[in-house]
A and B are shown apart, each in its own frame.
Chain A
Amino acid sequence: MLQFIIRRTLSMLATFFVVSVIIFLMMHAIPGGPFDGYEMPLPDNIKAKLMAQLGLDKPLWEQYVRYMWGVFHLDFGVPYQSPGETVMGLIAHAWVPSLVLGGLGVLIGAPIGILLGMAAALNRNSWIDYLASGIATLGLTIPVFVISTLLILVFAVWLHWTPASGWGEPRRWILPIMAYAAVPLATYARYARSAMLDTLNKPFVTVLRAKGLSERRIIFQHVLRNSAIPMITIFLPMFVGIATGSIFVEAIFRVPGLGAYFVSSIQKRDYPLEMALMLMISALFCISYLISDILYALLNPRIRLGGKAR
């Protein structure tokens, strides 16, 4: 098991390295630079001086090495669009609302989705199944900005139960979290249903019944554990969406999160901020897959102990 974890960690680090190179190159492949203003063009000599000051005149590989050296010391530089603070500082304060929004959205949406999917699988072709599938399909097909707008219309404009937007006190969190929870809920409802049905149709479930185990024990001990294996794959990567997926929700509900910076830092060629954001997402993805793999192995003896696959 330890060997397995070491192997996976090494391969994760390799992946992360490759991804960081690709992001770095892609950032610099975007035409233009941070000081190409059209309305008030800077004189060439000043521009060159600025570029030299920031190290942007060096060959790309040297820029990369210098950048990564900083990253290893948790120094992501200074964002060009907000030179008064560090990239770390900016992310730290802007990430809190995104984290609360996305984290609560997934933590509320996923369990409801799982319960819905389980109920659907256990009552196949009944009204519960159709209702759950209907909710899942709507959640996945209606764009999140439409859901958000509908929520505002119903709960804020018609019912006056909640404020329409803003952040701050927890009362204002309700609508954006509901909007954010729609996708995890729908995804999980579909996933849980198909994973449960898949397991329920396995011959060993019939054997468990033939042994005289109670239906409750069969479902909660055997079927659930077997179905959990495919569900884990999507659970952790879903948390990564906290850093990206909330762009629309944050914009509509005017949540002061990270979302807006993704767009603005590309437009402004804000290399340090964009690099930091992209690296952060990549790292989160890599780590979540690593944890998924380890959880997988803990749940599934065929992976943990190796041996021939069947």
Chain B
Amino acid sequence: MRLVEIDDLTVSFRQYEGVVQAVRGVSFDLESGESLGIVGESGSGKSVTCSALLRLLREPPATIAAKRLSLGGQDMLRADKKALASIRGRVAAMVFQDPMTSLDPVFTIGHQIVETITAHRDVSKKDAMQRAIALLKRVEIKNAEAVVRFYPHQLSGGMLQRVMIAMALSCEPAVLIADEPTTALDVTIQAQILQLIKDIQAETGMGLVMITHDLGVIAETVDRVVVMYGGRVMETGPVEAIFEAPLHPYTRALLASIPGQKPGKQRLTEIPGASPNPADPPPGCPFHPRCPMAITACSTTTPELETKAPGRTAACIRVAAELAAA
């Protein structure tokens, strides 16, 4: 079953300067049990895409349009408030970037997990609390019985992110959406949290959407990758294929900019220029002003996402030309 179906999603925000299109025609799917990485730099529209999928954006100022936007087979564009509340947390749960600000400071950890469980399941508070403790143990929190009585400010960032994961898992969602779950954490903690998410995914068979700007995170946790830039999908494909032979010039540039690939001190490789201003995007391919392979046509035609090889797509007129030549 397709857990997530996004077809031609557009998200725009009404602002003082006018309408800003943060996501411009994004499409991708997630099969059950699959893990998908969405990678891109800040402003590429990756977080907005997932917030739009759960309808978490305030509308207005946001406006969401899509040919299809479904989660667990349910049409998210037609769902009313009640249906949305029932889908959120149960069909798809989300883990956010900053665990320090993700919990309500005036309620205990236990209360916040219990209220998630009782919102979706007809269980007693006592049973829900037992489940909360079991979940905290699962995310490797020691003395979980005591931690349920703690307030968020009494735990470290790494502990809080474990709590957030436990809370997300509390209603056994079919999909876990992790929006930069390790960005706010220390490097040593990052690896532990990623490993935890990977283990739990293997154990429960749930689908995973990992949003990140960190290619290292992608390489370690997912099967398939969606590369986003300027509110569009640039390339999709299996993770190994993309790391070995990236098709899109943007993906290539992104991979080349990972530091420390060769030993010794050297100048860092960067992508020249700045990412496009979403209020005033360049015409044609959003990457063409920074692309080393750009030709005149790149600034006039917007490339469609096309299948370039089995299981791989890219939105680049130059890639097609190259494959034809090869």
Q: Which residues of A contact B (CB under 8 A)?
A: 202-204, 206-215, 217, 222, 225-226, 229, 299-302, 305, 307-310
Contact = CB atoms under 8 A, between A and B. Distances in A.
A204 B89 contact: no
Interface string B97-119: 01011111111100000011001
Contacts of B81: 215
Contact of B56 (A209, A226, A300, A309): A209
B151 interface: yes
B88 interface: yes
Contact of B88 (A203, A204, A211): A211
Contacts of A215: 81, 85
Interface in B96-148: 96, 98, 100-108, 115-116, 119-120
A211 B104 contact: no
Given A210-B56, A310-B100, 16 more contacts: A204-B103, A207-B103, A211-B93, A212-B89, A212-B120, A213-B85, A213-B89, A213-B116, A213-B119, A214-B85, A215-B81, A217-B119, A222-B107, A226-B105, A305-B151, A309-B153
A208 B81 CA distance: 14
Contacts of A203: 96, 98, 101-102
A147 B106 CA distance: 40
Contacts of B96: 203, 206-207, 210
Interface residues of B, number: 33
B94 interface: yes
Contacts of A300: 105-106
A212 B154 contact: no
Interface of B: 54, 56, 81-82, 85-90, 93-94, 96, 98, 100-108, 115-116, 119-120, 151, 153-154, 164, 167, 171
Contacts of A222: 104, 106-107
A299 B106 contact: yes
Nearest to A229: B106
A222 B111 CA distance: 12
Given A206-B56, A307-B154, A212 B101 contact: no
A210 B107 contact: no
Contacts of A213: 85, 89, 115-116, 119
B106 A301 contact: yes
Contact of B104 (A204, A229, A307): A204
A120 to B, nearest CB: 16
